[in-house]
Structure 1
Amino acid sequence: MTTTDKDRDIFARTLWGEARGEGLAGQIAVAWAIRNRVDDGRTKSWWGEGYAGVCQAPYQFSCWNNGDPNFDYLSGAKPIPTREFALAQIAADEVIAGNVPDPTDGATHYYAIAMPEAPAWATKAKQTLMLGGHVFFRDVP
């Protein structure tokens, strides 16, 4: 699959919005959950097509929701701090290139453990990893 500059930028912005406090390992895990959606093997995936399509699919990654505190940064209305964004770009590039293995064992979903309660879908899915502030899952019905 061809990855455009837009894909790379949206992917890195999503990592910044979803996992900037997690360090490189946590951002790589989130990046793999996104890549696993991109690589789902379907001709027309309901998750969206390519990295930009998957990241910006409605209500899939909360940082892109209007009203989310991250949205103004991701949309370009406010500048993302350069150092923080550089780390997200490294994570995005490494996962796109396949230079790092998937620590999530094929996860396509995750949630932040800071949430007041786990999402309903998590009760029927296979937990694959807990890393930093996120729990990762695959086989989500």
Structure 2
Amino acid sequence: TQAKLKSFGKVRVTALDQLARIIYSEARGESFEGQVAVGAVVLNRVQSGEFPSSIPDVILQPGQFTAVQDGQYRLKPNKTAYRAARQALNGADPTNGSLFYYNPAIATAKWSKSRPAVISLGRHTFTN
């Protein structure tokens, strides 16, 4: 999967495009604030020192985002996802610095549910 995603190389894919793709694929059914929050988590990871130091490396890090694993990341983002990505890139962070999120209705990983919640937005709980 990672090799296929990196094959975007022939077409210039910007950080904005990648952030919009992960927002759209992970949170397209969420409110605008919830979409910005998903983008903010990616950027918080880039800045944290605990994760890779670039947007594509954070997004493509194995096992981190279900939408990358199941192929939804290849979907074309809509205008709202791009707007949310721009907001996140401009510093908006409704998660207060969160590094993780999960959907409590479908999450199966006990480690994610054991982390203290920072905020819940829509169907996602954001944690550190």
Q: Give your verdict on TM over 0.5.
A: yes
Residues 1-141 of structure 1: matches in 2 within 5 Å?
A: 6-40=14-48, 42=49, 45=50, 47-65=51-69, 68=70, 70-73=72-75, 80=76, 85-98=78-91, 100=92, 102-115=93-106, 117=108, 119-138=109-128
2-structure distance, mates of 1:27, 1:62: 15
Mapped to 2, the partners of 1:14 and 1:104 lie a distance apart of: 16
Report percent identity of matched pairs.
Answer: 31
Are the equivalent residues in 1 in contact too, given 2:101–2:125 (CA < 8 A)? yes
Letter aligned with residue 130 of structure 1: S
Please identify which structure carries the higher helix content.
2
Q: 1:21 to 1:39 in 2, by over 3 A?
A: same
Find the residue that maps to 2:40 and give its secondary structure.
Answer: helix
TM-score, normalising length: structure 2: 0.80
Q: CA RMSD in A?
A: 2.0
TM superposition shift of 1:5? 5.4
1:94 Cα deviation (Å)? 1.1
Q: Who is 1:76 aligned against?
A: none
- Report the residue type matching 1:91 in the other structure: A
Work out the CA distance in 2 between the residues paired with 1:95 and 1:116: 24
Q: Which runs of structure 1 show a deviation greater than 4 angstroms over 4 or more consecutive aligned residues?
A: none
Stretches of structure 2 lacking an aligned partner (at least 5 in a row): 1-11
Letter in 1 for 2:112: A
> What runs of 5+ residues in structure 1 fail to find an aligned partner?
74-79
